[in-house]
């Protein structure tokens, strides 16, 4: 490659020839499918993670994420274009580095950027001329410019000339059979025109559609808007569920009727609370940043208040239903169906099922769970639940005083499973209609 070419031209040539080495930091639900996509698109890839178990599993051809099949992992690593490591010194080998690390909330619902900052420091120590760095982790507007750029500039390189920087929000929906990393449009906001061109070229070589925007701040805000939209609308139907329940109206039937309107309406569905890596957390990043500018994001705060209260609502409904069946919650046996935050996946991050279990245990219930995707409950919140999933059978379900349907796994939609059930508290509308059935209670 000619030494007369600028760093940008050299990088664009490498991308065009698919010789650019792509580094992906964080091999979880976002980073692993992204790393596999670039490998499948013909690029050499290095995946980085601080957990040594992940690279070890990947090199054995094993997948630790259920909806990413082991054959896909095994095939990718057998071709020899992709490697996984805990050695961050190898960042210097990469022409493009994509950051896919967690962005949790602190104790007071303030943004915890420690993973982003630590990762940026790791990159900065090894940053070399001509590298492209893209942040994919969801965060508040300004993070790319305020947190990453100063760290990289301190190396003596100029953004848009010596190195390139952009934000491109992840849009993963684990387990979605229709939309995946390759066919979900990729928003890209570069710090400057050269960074924008480089980042768009890179993603354009692997995904079907790239959506350029004018700045990292627009890209950061777009991801937050997507998640806030869902959070607010889920809160709305959760509140309406409580209101309609008091009126003796089935909210699920109301939603089915409303969604027949071909315009001006989009169906959202109630549940036991929010879960996952985005919706329970990301809106508060914008609320925190808004407060810094003297603005109160009232819809975000109200939606958060409603959604976080739903596990308490479910437990209250369970206690009342047990009482109506002549049972006290203290000493009652309760089986929670589902630990995953959504149906048919093994992702339990921020799942409301954990809080439901803990609230019931605090009231003196003997609680078990069933989830065919999660054989053992991990340690969360107050304590290690120390639970293993029970069998998903009608005989097993018949042993409990109450079942609480928290996740709409396809396995739980079999009516035969509930043939011996004494009481079902259904938060997901998966059991046969409760109308006229004293054993099924909507919650």
Structure tokens at 87: 């050695």
CA separation for the pair 427, 430 (Å, rounded) = 8
Q: Quick one: CA dihedral 20, 101, 182, 81, positive or negative?
A: positive
Three-class DSSP category at 268: coil
- Our answer to whether residue 200 is catalytic in this structure is no
- For strands 186-190 and 164-167, give the pairing: antiparallel
Q: Which helix (H) or strand (E) holds 353?
A: helix 352-362
Burial of residue 416 (CB within 10 Å: 0-12, 13-18, 19+) is exposed
Which residue, chain included where needed, has tokens 């078990």?
Answer: 368
CA separation for the pair 181, 26 (Å, rounded) = 16
Contact 30, 170 (CB under 8 A): yes
Using the 8-state DSSP alphabet, how is residue 147 labeled?
I
Active-site residue, from 94, 100, 200, 278: 278
Q: Quick one: CA dihedral 414, 409, 424, 258, positive or negative?
A: negative
Structure tokens at 324: 């109506």
Which residue, chain included where needed, has tokens 């549940």?
Answer: 271
Sequence-ordered list of residues with C-beta below 8 angstroms from that of 98, at least 6 positions apart, any chain: 22, 23, 24, 25, 31, 34, 134, 136
Structure tokens at 112: 């915890």
Contact 134, 164 (CB under 8 A): no
Residues annotated catalytic, as ranges: 278
């Amino acid at each position: 490659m000619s030494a007369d070419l600028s760093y940008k031209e050299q990088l664009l040539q490498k991308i065009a020839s698919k010789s650019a080495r792509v580094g992906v930091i964080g091999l979880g639900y976002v980073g692993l499918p992204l790393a596999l996509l670039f490998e499948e698109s013909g690029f050499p890839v290095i995946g980085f993670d601080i957990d040594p178990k992940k690279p070890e599993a990947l090199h054995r051809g094993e997948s630790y994420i259920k909806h990413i099949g082991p054959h896909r992992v095994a095939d990718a690593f057998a071709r020899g274009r992709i490697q996984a490591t805990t050695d961050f010194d190898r960042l210097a080998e990469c022409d493009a580095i994509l950051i896919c690390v967690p962005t949790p909330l602190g104790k007071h619902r303030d943004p915890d950027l420690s993973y982003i900052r630590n990762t940026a420091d790791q990159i900065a120590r090894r940053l070399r001329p001509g590298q492209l760095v893209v942040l994919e982790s969801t965060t508040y507007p300004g993070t790319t410019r305020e947190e990453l750029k100063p760290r990289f500039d301190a190396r003596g390189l100029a953004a848009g000339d010596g190195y390139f920087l952009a934000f491109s929000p992840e849009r993963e929906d684990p387990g979605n059979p229709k939309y995946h990393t390759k066919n979900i449009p990729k928003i890209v906001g570069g710090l400057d025109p050269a960074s924008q061109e480089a980042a768009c070229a890179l993603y354009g070589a692997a995904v079907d559609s790239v959506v350029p925007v004018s700045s990292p701040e627009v890209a950061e805000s777009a991801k937050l808007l997507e998640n806030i939209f869902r959070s607010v609308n889920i809160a709305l139907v959760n509140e309406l569920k409580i209101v309609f329940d008091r009126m003796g109206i089935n909210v699920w039937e109301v939603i089915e009727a409303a969604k027949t309107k071909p315009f001006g309406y989009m169906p959202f569905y109630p549940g036991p609370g929010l879960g996952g890596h985005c919706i329970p957390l990301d809106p508060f990043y914008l609320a925190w940043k808004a407060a810094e500018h003297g603005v109160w994001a009232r819809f975000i705060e109200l939606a958060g208040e409603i959604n976080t209260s739903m596990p308490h609502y479910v437990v209250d409904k369970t206690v009342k239903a047990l009482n109506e069946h002549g049972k006290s919650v203290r000493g009652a046996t309760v089986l929670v169906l589902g630990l995953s935050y959504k149906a048919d996946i093994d992702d339990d991050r921020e799942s409301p099922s954990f809080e439901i279990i803990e609230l019931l245990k605090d009231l003196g219930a003997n609680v078990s769970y069933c989830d065919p995707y999660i054989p053992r409950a991990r340690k969360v919140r107050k304590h290690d639940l120390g639970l293993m999933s029970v069998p998903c059978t009608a005989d097993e379900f018949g042993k409990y005083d109450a079942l609480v349907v928290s996740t709409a796994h396809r396995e739980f939609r079999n009516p035969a499973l509930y043939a011996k059930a004494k009481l079902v508290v259904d938060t997901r509308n998966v059991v046969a209609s409760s109308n006229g059935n004293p054993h099924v209670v909507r919650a």
